[in-house]
Amino acid sequence: MTQKIIVLSVLMGLAACGGGSGGGGSPVITTTSINNATFDSTTGASSVTALSALTNTSTSTTNTATLTYSGSTITKAVVVGPDGALITFDTNLGDTIGTTSAYGGVTLIGAIKQNQQEQILIASFPSSTKSKIVNHNKIVGSKMYHSVSLQANKSSVDPTVSATYTGKLLGSYSSVGAYHVINGKPFITSADVSMTANFTTDSIAFSTSNTVGKSLPSLGSNTGLSFLDMTGTLTDPDNNNSFTGNVTTSGAHTGSVTALVIGDSAEELSGFGSTSTTNEIHSFGFITKK
């Protein structure tokens, strides 16, 4: 049965810990690294008959994400979830937590619940010290839900010049009974991101290219996903350093993107968004620098 995908509205978690405050503060998550776990093929992905997205309003939160180590091994990961509540993964309770590198230096921490029905990916980008991305996937009944959070401090500085930003996107893509034989299991996606910002007119030209995906659990060779490449224009009518706009992909997905000015000198322009079409969804976060 075909079900309509809900348009994603994503939570932004603001940092409550680390050095500094305002535009220059540290992000909630201060460590880097994806695990090679996936949803169980019999109880998880193959039972998914529809995809959806968590419909939370963008909200700041004072919840604090933490990682617990035993030596060099992460034994517990607590992250801010898409509703602002904390989500806990604990190896002492049978959950799996792992680390690896992917996509040219992007390091990931991945965790999956013992019942294989919930997963997070925490992305840290080597060129960024101010932002982290959390992808969250969860199976409830016959649906898989996607969401993504950008965890950073939005700048209080009002930039008044033009600048070009480049960086990377990290996302999750799933389809059900669709064109790619993925059948509900999330692909981890990456893409190059380019933005040309005119802060005088409060407008940003946004585009992504070279979108690829790695299937879980192998994280093997890349699968080309150029139909997820997107373009759009973002604006900031409220002059609050939060730019939002609609985007379209070469494969007829539609959706929206929000980009936030990060840092005292507007040195990062990072954000989140999603695109979808019937029975397909791509949710993502991105981090770019001047």
| Cα 52 from Cα 66, distance rounded (Å) | 28
The larger pLDDT score, comparing residue 126 to residue 108, is at 108
* Residue 258 pLDDT > 50: yes
pTM score, two decimals? 0.78
Mean pLDDT on 245-268: 91
For residue 214, how many other CB atoms are within 10 A of its CB?
19
pLDDT of res. 103: 62
* Residue 79 pLDDT > 70: yes
pLDDT of res. 57: 46
pLDDT band at 60 (very low <50, low <70, confident <90, very high): low
| Cα 153 from Cα 31, distance rounded (Å) | 16
SS3 content of the chain, % helix, strand, coil (to 5): 5, 50, 45
| Cα 89 from Cα 288, distance rounded (Å) | 29
Q: What percent of the chain lies above the pLDDT cut of 70? A: 69
The larger pLDDT score, comparing residue 284 to residue 61, is at 284
Mean pLDDT on 1-8: 25
pLDDT of res. 170: 86
Using the 8-state DSSP alphabet, how is residue 56 labeled? Answer: P
pLDDT band at 139 (very low <50, low <70, confident <90, very high): confident
Alpha carbon 180 to its chain centroid, in Å, reads 21
Q: What percent of the chain lies above the pLDDT cut of 90? A: 21
102-113 pLDDT, tens digit each: 666 666 778 888
Lowest mean pLDDT among 35-39, 62-66, 272-276: 35-39
pLDDT of res. 54: 60
Joined together, the tokens standing for residue 170 give 């990290």
* Residue 227 pLDDT > 50: yes
The larger pLDDT score, comparing residue 192 to residue 7, is at 192
| Cα 91 from Cα 68, distance rounded (Å) | 10
Mean pLDDT on 34-47: 42
The larger pLDDT score, comparing residue 36 to residue 1, is at 36
| Cα 153 from Cα 221, distance rounded (Å) | 35
Pairing of β 203-215 and β 66-70:
unpaired
* Residue 31 pLDDT > 70: no
| Domains of the chain listed by start with CATH number | 12-289 (2.40.160.90)
| Cα 86 from Cα 186, distance rounded (Å) | 22
- Mean pLDDT value across the chain: 74
141-180 pLDDT, tens digit each: 777 788 887 777 778 888 888 999 998 898 888 887 655 5
